[in-house]
Amino acid sequence: MTQAENCSNTCSERHDVQPKEISQLDWSSVNRREAIHTVFLRAEKHATEAIRWYLLSKKGKKLCAQSLRLGVISLTALAGLIPILGELHVFPFSTAWASAALGFAALLLAIDKFFGCSTAWMRFIAAEHEIRQCLHEFQMDYEIELASWDGAEPDVEQTQKILNRCKVFLYQVDGIIRQETDKWLAEFQDAIKQIDSAAAAKPEKSETGGINVTLTNADQFPQGWKITVDDGNAIDCSGQSAALPGLSAGIHKLRLDAQQDQQTKTVERLVTVTGGLVTEQSFEL
């Protein structure tokens, strides 16, 4: 969030760098030194207020960015662990939860991009450091110029020189703020454009695939056997093989059950389905 953003989001003026009214100064030879120092203090205060604004504003962006990115990392890791835990029978999770976790991770990334939390945090740090560097240089130049007067009152040429230095410094600070604001505008416009493009795009039809299941010891189960896909309804099968068409691309859990000597035999496996292809899988109960 830039200074322009903050003006639209809060009514509290203490969060913004406000313009200051300039009062008339006395530039007579007697009061010239005091007038120069007043201009210096104005320029210095403008920079310190900008630095203070960036220091305060980056705290919220830092917290937001770290929270969103931590959520993305956690959800992505969880999506990778769910199929493994399911295969190890540690937790009875459906593989669909892996896709859900990836979807939530993508949502957090989209939120971060739209509100610009991560990029704003980095922009604020860079702008604050750049203004601080210019302020230090300006303060030293001012002290060097004062030392060159050797305690005497400044003449017109010396006064114009130091006033020009104050003018350049103010332009530097405002230029840094403007540059940071322009970056925010470009990022925000790009985020809006991407969101609008995604909303206008027609959803593509997802490809489907199939699984050809072979039960190698099917002759041991004359009453047949059953297949369950992703904890759905059991499918009755007879013979040695069965086809499962029209499955969405991704990871699916297959469970085979059969009765033998009044006992139920079961085997489970995670199978990856590729769109447009038929996967061959052999089982033995």
Say whether both 24 and 159 belong to one domain: yes
Say whether both 129 and 194 belong to one domain: yes
Look at residue 95 and give its three-state secondary structure: coil
Q: Which residue has the higher pLDDT, 6 or 110?
A: 110
Say whether both 164 and 256 belong to one domain: no
Say whether both 157 and 221 belong to one domain: no
Show Cβ contacts of residue 238 under 8 Å, excluding neighbours closer than 6 positions: 224, 225
Residue 180: give the domain boundaries. 3-200
The answer to whether the CB of 42 falls within 8 A of the CB of 19 is no
Q: Which of 200, 223, 240 is the last residue of a domain?
A: 200
Say whether both 128 and 222 belong to one domain: no
Based on the structure, what is the number of domains in the chain? 2
The sign of the torsion formed by the CA atoms of 193, 196, 198, 201 equals: negative
Its pTM stands at 0.59
Q: Which of 168, 200, 232 is the last residue of a domain?
A: 200
Say whether both 7 and 140 belong to one domain: yes
Q: Which of 156, 175, 200 is the last residue of a domain?
A: 200
The answer to whether the CB of 253 falls within 8 A of the CB of 229 is yes
Say whether both 186 and 46 belong to one domain: yes
Say whether both 133 and 269 belong to one domain: no
User: What is the band of 206 on the pLDDT scale with cuts at 50, 70, 90?
Assistant: low
Say whether both 117 and 151 belong to one domain: yes
Least confident of 40-44, 66-70, 228-232: 228-232
Running DSSP on this structure, what letter comes out for residue 15?
G
Can you give the pLDDT at residue 113? 85
User: What is the band of 90 on the pLDDT scale with cuts at 50, 70, 90?
Assistant: low
Mean pLDDT for 144-149 is 92
Q: Which residue has the higher pLDDT, 10 or 123?
A: 123
- Please compute Rg for the chain using Cα positions: 34
For tokens 């995604």, name the residue: 198
